[in-house]
Amino acid sequence: MAYNDLRDWIAALERAGELRRVKTEVDPVLEIAEITDRVSKSRDKSGTRGGPALLFENPKDHKVPVLINQFGSERRMRMALEVQSLDEVADRIRQFMDVKSPQGFLDKVKMLPMLAEMGKFFPKTVSTGPCKENIRKDNLDLNYFPVLQCWPQDAGRFITLPCVVTRDPKTGKRNVGMYRMQIFDGRTAGMHWQRQKIGAEHYREMLRTAAQKMTHPTQPQGLVGHPGSVEIMARTSGGSLIPEGGLPSGKMEVAIAVGTDPAITFSAIVPAPPEVEEYLIAGFLRQRPVELVKCETVDLEVPASSEIVLEGHVHLDELRAEGPFGDHTGFYSLADLYPVFHLTCVTHRNNPIYATTIVGKPPQEDAYMGKAVERVFLPLMKLTIPELVDINLPIEGVFHNLMIVSIRKSYPGQARKVMNAIWSLGQAMFTKCVIVVDEDVDVQDIGEVTLKVLNHIDPERDIQFTLGPVDSLDHAARLPNYGSKMGIDATRKWTTEGFSRPWPDEILMDADTKALVNGKWKTLTKELGME
């Protein structure tokens, strides 16, 4: 049964012994982050990392409690998605993708139950909800909420777990993304949507339309015709290039939900295609539709059970320096220009709970969310790369720095084809290093990967470099958002790939001897003191 809201989720965590309430007064500026960082890197008696979820009931100078580290372990991620294994979600996705086109009347009849099941995932709009218990349009102040400053060199306090709702100005489709927001003052905040994010594309599309009307009011809408216009539109979300004469005026509506049920929060980070709405993904994950309510001052819908909703606008002609910010790479992302969010309304539940997270050197809470994305979306990657067997994005590689891939190799050069396929897939295009191994290598076993990769490669022959877009947080790239990437072909080399030497067998014990020792192993472990 799906969690009704954040409070239902908190109750489940507490019943499972996965939540600790902190009654000691602690400061949202640095102190909560330091406590959470220590907890997230701790191990329990079994050696499991992550520590418990934390509910700070007495944040200094605030009446609103703070929930953090709610997803900060593998067990809690499984609980959040209500599965025993993350592969269960992947299997459900795979079943939907395996549906064949019906060949006759009986096939169509057989599909009806599945179609009915899919129908129940679609979101539905209701007249009101708990998030409307308090509606404020005057005397607004973002500082009412205990927004954290996580690291000493952060530019200020940042909202770090917001579900940011925008609408495509061309199609009208909604998008829910997660973009950090630096609090500038009580009514404005930075909107850090990096250029590859859907929210940033909605913003750029509005810029294109406004600029076209300003420059060629009688021509069809499209890109401005003057040289460099495409680059200008690309750079205005997290870039310093502004056209001579400034940006076109206008407003873009935005709504931010803070403190949603876990499926909705998780859906905001998944790398879904733009055509698939996150509310639908959340419905699929929770096996029940998300109930939405209309906002008060903008034409957008937010989850009815949200703890806090912030409504407002981004002004097209306003950019402001946002950052530095201690990021998930373990380094500070530097200040850059981003749009500014202007608050027009706040709605919240009675006695709201402020949900947040911190990022920094792994492992942190985001590591477990990222590993869940890896497992859940593997079937979707296989649609484009059918030879794919498994992938591993090691936590220490902060996801965009390293992807280890195993494939079923069936023709020469296939590993390089797979590298290029990965670099063409959505946010996977930012992967700095791709390592491709054969299907018999367990990519989840870093020890085995290290042994096989370093034994299998001839560096000059098997390492290739390419140039292209890189993650905005890659501080080592030669230019912001543009740099090099590396692929390593660690598969066995074939004669058809120009390798004429014999390839040696791996050292493995024969099955008969292993079975013989297995029969004696219980006695031997006693004699060897290995019990």
CA-wise closest residue to 255 among 192, 312, 334, 177: 312
Cα pseudo-dihedral 510, 515, 521, 523, rounded to 10: -130
Q: Edge to edge, what strands does the sheet with 124-125 contain? A: 124-125, 291-294, 301-303
Are the CB atoms for 255 and 165 separated by under 8 Å?
A: yes
Considering the candidates 327, 390, 462, 474, report the single residue annotated as catalytic: 327
In the chain, the amino acid numbered 478 is: R
How far apart CA 454 and CA 181 sit, in angstroms, is 42
Are the CB atoms for 147 and 320 separated by under 8 Å?
A: no
Residue 240 makes CB contacts below 8 A (sequence gap 6+) with: 336, 337
Are the CB atoms for 307 and 6 separated by under 8 Å?
A: yes
How far apart CA 489 and CA 123 sit, in angstroms, is 44
In the chain, the amino acid numbered 212 is: Q
How far apart CA 128 and CA 318 sit, in angstroms, is 33
How far apart CA 322 and CA 238 sit, in angstroms, is 9
How far apart CA 69 and CA 19 sit, in angstroms, is 9
How far apart CA 86 and CA 102 sit, in angstroms, is 30
Gyration radius from the chain CA atoms:
25
Residue 469 makes CB contacts below 8 A (sequence gap 6+) with: 196, 429, 430, 481, 482
Catalytic residue list contains 327:
yes
Beta-bridge partners for 314: 252, 341
How far apart CA 189 and CA 226 sit, in angstroms, is 32
CA-wise closest residue to 463 among 433, 441, 429, 505: 433
Q: Which residues belong to the active site?
A: 327
